[in-house]
């Protein structure tokens, strides 16, 4: 909001927050503010930039290994990936699911 209001030159944030604001799900004021700014990914060909990731992992010796694997399989299903892409504005992890245009 500070960047959109001209109070700051840059904000460090995850792209899904910008997409959430652009979607209008957080109200007209945030949507209008988001339309005044853009995501910027600096220096991708050298050292890169910070990336915040979401992950799932199986702990060695987990007592319910089969259920844990089933959960990871579900999280990687097209149905779950479409949910993450279109409702929480995360980038998809599987082929065949495209990122939401807002990110």
**What confidence tens digit (pLDDT) does each residue in 66-88 have?**
999 999 999 999 999 999 999 99
Residue 42 has pLDDT above 80, yes or no: no
Q: Which pLDDT band, with edges at 50, 70 and 90, does 46 fall under?
A: low
Mean pLDDT of the chain: 89
pLDDT 10s digits, 7-18 = 999 888 888 889
11-20 own/partner pairs: CB under 8 Å, 24+ apart:
11/37, 12/50, 14/52, 15/39, 15/89, 15/91, 15/103, 16/88, 16/89, 16/90, 16/103, 18/102, 18/103, 19/89, 19/100, 19/102, 19/103, 20/89
Q: Which pLDDT band, with edges at 50, 70 and 90, does 96 fall under?
A: very high
């Amino acid at each position: 909001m500070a960047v959109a209001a001209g109070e700051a030159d840059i904000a460090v944030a995850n792209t899904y927050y910008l997409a959430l604001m652009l979607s209008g799900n957080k109200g007209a004021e945030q949507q209008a503010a988001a339309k005044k700014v853009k995501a910027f990914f600096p220096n991708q060909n050298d050292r890169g930039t910070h990336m915040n990731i979401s992950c799932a992992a199986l702990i060695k010796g987990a007592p319910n290994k089969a259920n844990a694997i089933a959960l990871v399989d579900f999280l990687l299903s097209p149905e779950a990936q479409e949910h993450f892409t279109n409702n929480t504005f995360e980038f998809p992890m599987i082929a065949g699911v495209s990122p939401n245009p807002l990110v």
